[in-house]
Copies of this chain bind each other. A is one copy, B any other.
Amino acid sequence: MKKDTSATLIGAGLKVTPTRLAILEVFSKDCKPINAEYIFNRLHGEKVNLVTIYRTLSTFAKKGIVRSVNVHAESAHYELAAHHHHHLICKDCGKIEEISICNELLDKEAMAHSTKFQSIQSHSVEFFGVCKKCKV
């Protein structure tokens, strides 16, 4: 498992450090989009600086290890890029659920617009609504 995360870093041309491994661990444990603050709280025992987390997220995003997700929140949320999902987001409590569909129709759409854009690399799909708990 640790070998797995090390490989991810090495493959991206990044040095393998305890901080980076720890952050990747958090991602693989929590299968939902998370933000810097969340990671910070999970790693309190390990004395990781919040600034480092921001920097790491930025580096990971640039290398394509993680991707930012729109959850209509104030802070930026990320998920593992390898772990492609679409989302259901509750407008009331902010709860995020993943839905694992990714139909070809979207790919076709992407293709259809490739005349305007040189290349389309990714897409995101989010549904916003109210979850059962919040519905009184």
Contact = CB atoms under 8 A, between A and B. Distances in A.
Interface in A58-79: 68-70, 72
A38 interface: no
Given A70-B70, A105-B105, A121 B117 contact: no
Interface residues of A, number: 36
A124 B121 contact: no
Contacts of A122: 127-129
A118 B91 CA distance: 11
Tell me the number of copies of this protein. 2
Contact of A127 (B90, B110, B128, B135): B110
A64 B105 CA distance: 28
Interface of A: 68-70, 72, 86, 88, 90-91, 97, 99, 101, 103, 105-106, 109-110, 113, 116-132, 134-135
